Amino acid sequence: MSRPSYARPGMGGDSVVVCRDLRRRFGDRVGVDGVGFEIARGETYGLLGPNGAGKTTTISMLCGLLAPDEGEVIVAGRPITPSSTDAKRAIGLVPQDIALYPDLTARENLRFFGRLQGLGKARLAARMGEVLELVGLADRADDRVEHYSGGMKRRCNIAAGLLHEPELLVLDEPTVGVDPQSRNAILESIEELGRSGLSVLYTTHYMEEAERLCDRVGILDEGRLVAEGTRRELIAHVGHQAGLRVSGTGDLHALAAEFPGAVVRDGAVDLLVDDTGRRLAEVVGAAERVHVVITGIDTSEPDLEAVFLHLTGKALRD
Amino acid sequence: MIARNELLRVYRDRTALFFILVLPVVIMVIIGSTFFGEAGDLPIGVIDRDQSELSARIERLVDDSPALATRRYTDLDALELDVRTGRVDAGLVIAPGAERVELITDPIRRSTGTVRTVVRGVLAGEGARLGAARLASDLTGTDLDANLLTADALGAEQTTIDVPVMATGTPAEDDVNQFSYTAPANLVLFVFVNSLAIAASIVQARQLGVLNRIRAGPLRTSTILVGFGLSRVLFSIVQSLLLLSVGALVFGVDFGDPVGVALLVLAFSLLCAGAGLLVGSVARNGDQAQAIGIPVAIALGMLGGAMWPLEIVGPTMRGIGHAVPHAWAMDAWVELVFEGGSARTVLGEVGILLAFAAVLLLIGSRLLHRRLSAI
């Protein structure tokens, strides 16, 4: 079966999303603080940040679910607010939750959401076939969603967001809680959508996903966009630093405290260093002082994880 | 579309269908048969300690009553035990001389009042006959038995006085039966109970993120709320129609003026939709919606006369009962079913139900709107 095409006329130069200075508070807590970015047509843009960084709040404002206290969102040339109606047709939202009725089949769910998007009977039937094929659920379309595996539910969730051929697909952490195989299938589907010319906004706290899928990435921390750019541009923030990962037994937190910006993660201390040789000696000396027995040392080229660490002093999955 | 989808989901839920359709009918049958069954076959034990012609005559009168089923006893303790254990509803003891008849009852038994009334009615004529014969004997010194026979003869010749019963207003329907109260009462009770029970589906839609997905589409929030509210109204109407059909076709209940019935069902369905939206917006999860909704609905049904007629409670409870909409709905049903009322005569009750509905719909939709806007 042929894949649907999402290519749009004029793709390339103009922006499908413009967010300007978005701010939103929840009582005393700042949810989003001055976030602004643009997404070009056909571009896959990632919002990378740990849980609570403001990713979901940002896309809730972008999709018109939440009114910003300040700032504006323009999608496909039209402002988006909670009271927007037609303008929202440009957006296909794939929420972090499996936003489907578990007691209905995939086909019934898609029919429901497609009708709400205003799709006519013939077009809806055609589109249901296309999206079910795209996410690999065509042969299970008449099964109830509650009988699906976690990965299948996620794929059906994506299908519901694609049904009405949006100009922008917004995916909020679509691989949370799925097994590696299903996760790979989901990422492949999104890569295919990106190749077909669909504009995608992808939020994640998985550095590898952002690196694999996104043309550009915005790094969010505590409601602020702390950096933005292509992978190469972001890694340039780190300079010549390399990642150093020290595994050992003993008080790793005490060892991490010896080096500004170092964090303890997964039974090891992660830090960024300019001069690997000199720093290694310092690490060994510090380990002796705090009675940590080093069991392994790895060095790595900087990645987005290192960029996040460099910019915020925290690990992505703190 | 939202309303259609909600109805499809309820249709798919076999447990919900059981509570919506089967349980109300079963309860209707049980309550109708138990509480409002026709008098008849009330078991009553009889001890004759006089063993005279007079006492035999009293026994025959009790035997002949179509409302009573007599059982003979010789031992008072055995009779009292059977009254206490419910084998008989009461015990009738004819004292020596047949001048006094004692009725042994269990005061907490529901049938006690009925038995007492029936026995008094049966023995009232015999008391008058005995009194007349005894008066004649005292005045003339003649034999009591002879005077009893004379009293019998005079009683047979006496012209009875016909006392026609004149009712004000429209004459009551002739085909009222033991289900005439329970059918509408169970409709009121269960349509409301189920409207609160299925409020859990609104909570579920909220929790699943389905409502947010819908809101991310091209519908106004007000349109979405109307969709969910309309689904509740349709659901209540469908359930009402099904219960009305069962009541009419299976139990032979005449619900009265169709226009009045339609108005009443619509008003009550709007009320149920409002209550459902309210519970759907305040409950934190589906379990909580059902845990709160169902007991509240049953309590309101008790207060409002959907479990027993408000006529049998005191004026204070009757007044309190009318603070809940069920009482007004039941007043209107009684008017339609028992008083031969029409749409015009139930307009007051329907208006009050609509006022309740308006308040609940307003509060429920506002709270749900606020919940959705807060993400």
Residue A112 and residue A57 share a domain: yes
Out of A115-129, A152-166, B217-231, which region has the weakest mean confidence (pLDDT)?
B217-231
Q: Give the domain ranges of chain B.
A: 2-35+178-373, 42-157
Residues of chain B found within 8 Å of residue A112, distances taken between Cβ atoms: 1, 5
- Report how many domains make up chain A: 2
Angle between helices B199-208 and B2-12 (to 10 degrees): 110
Cα B63 to Cα B76: distance, rounded to the nearest angstrom: 19
Q: With an 8 Å Cβ cutoff, are B215 and A85 in contact?
A: no
The answer to whether B219 contacts A85, with C-beta atoms less than 8 Å apart, is yes
Q: How many C-beta neighbours within 10 Å does residue B310 have?
A: 22
Is A169 found in the same domain as A140?
Answer: yes
Tell me, yes or no, whether A207 and A259 share the same domain. Answer: no
- Give the CATH number of the domain where residue A140 resides: 3.40.50.300
Max mean pLDDT among A100-109, B3-12, B27-36, B68-77 falls in A100-109
The reply to whether A6 falls in a domain is: no
Shortest distance between the Cα of A109 and any Cα of chain B, in A, equals 9
pLDDT at position B374 is 66
pLDDT of residue B169: 40
Q: Residue A107: count other Cβ atoms within 10 Å of its Cβ.
A: 19
- Both tokens of residue A141? 């379309």
So what's the pLDDT on residue B5? 80
Kindly state whether A80 is in contact with chain B, defined as any CB-CB distance less than 8 angstroms: no
Work out the mean pLDDT of chain A and round it to a whole number.
86
Tell me the pLDDT band of B229, cut-offs 50, 70 and 90: confident
Residue in this structure with the two tokens 């009683």, named with its chain if needed = B155
Count of Cβ atoms closer than 10 Å to residue A29 Cβ:
9
Query: What angle is formed at CA A20 by the lines to CA B224 and CA A29, rounded to 5 degrees?
Result: 70
In angstroms, rounded to a whole number, what is the distance separating the alpha carbons of residues B73 and B145? Answer: 26
Q: Does A201 touch chain B (CB under 8 A)?
A: no
| Same-domain status, A177 and A196 | yes
Q: Do B12 and A104 touch (CB under 8 A)?
A: yes
What is the pLDDT, as a whole number, of residue A282? 87
- Given the DSSP bridges, would you call strands A268-273 and A242-249 parallel, antiparallel or unpaired? antiparallel
The answer, yes or no, to whether residue B41 has pLDDT greater than 60, is yes
Q: Specify whether A125 is located in the same domain as A224.
A: yes
The partner residue sitting opposite B218, judged by closest CB among A67, A101, A117, is A117
Provide the pLDDT for residue B113: 65
Residue A248 or residue A317, greater confidence: A248
Q: What is the CATH number of domain B42-157?
A: 3.40.190
- Whether chain B has a CB inside 8 Å of the CB on A32: the answer is no
Whole-angstrom distance, CA of residue A92 vs CA of residue A216: 20
CB contact under 8 A, B213 and A88: no
Does one domain contain both A226 and A277?
no
CA angle, A274 then A279 then A285, to 5°:
165
Q: Same domain for A128 and A273?
A: no
Q: What is the pLDDT of residue A316?
A: 65
Q: How far apart are CA B91 and CA B81, in angstroms?
A: 10
Look at residue A186 and tell me if it is in a domain: yes
pLDDT digit string (tens) for B136-151? 888 788 777 777 778 7
Q: Does A287 reside within a domain?
A: yes
Q: What is the pTM of this model?
A: 0.68
Give the pair of three-digit tokens for residue A7.
Answer: 């290519």
Query: Chain B residue with minimal CA distance to A158?
Result: B213
pLDDT of residue A163: 92
Give the E-state strand segments of A27-160 in sequence order. 29-40, 44-48, 70-75, 78-79, 91-94
Which domain range does residue A259 map to? 240-301
Q: What are phi and psi of A302, to 5 degrees?
A: -65, 145
Please name the member of A57, A83, A97 whose beta carbon is closest to the beta carbon of B208: A97
Residues A140-171: pLDDT tens digits?
999 999 999 888 999 999 999 999 999 999 99
Answer whether B213 sits within 8 Å of A95, measured CB to CB. Answer: yes
Percent of chain A with pLDDT over 70: 94
Q: Residue B168 — pLDDT band, cuts 50, 70, 90?
A: very low
CATH code of A262's domain: 3.30.70
Phi first, then psi: give them for residue B111, nearest 5 degrees.
-85, -5
One domain, residues A170 and A282? no
Q: Which of A302 and A233 is assigned the larger pLDDT?
A: A233
Is residue B330 within 8 Å of residue B232, measured between CB atoms? Answer: no
> What confidence score (pLDDT) does residue B109 get?
61
Maximum mean pLDDT: which of B152-156, B229-233, B369-373? B229-233
Check A99 against B209: CB less than 8 A apart.
yes
Are residue A244 and residue A231 in the same domain, yes or no? no
- pLDDT for the residue B264: 95
- If asked whether residues A75 and A206 sit together in one domain, one would say yes
- Whether A293 maps to a domain, the answer reads yes
pLDDT at B172 over 50: no
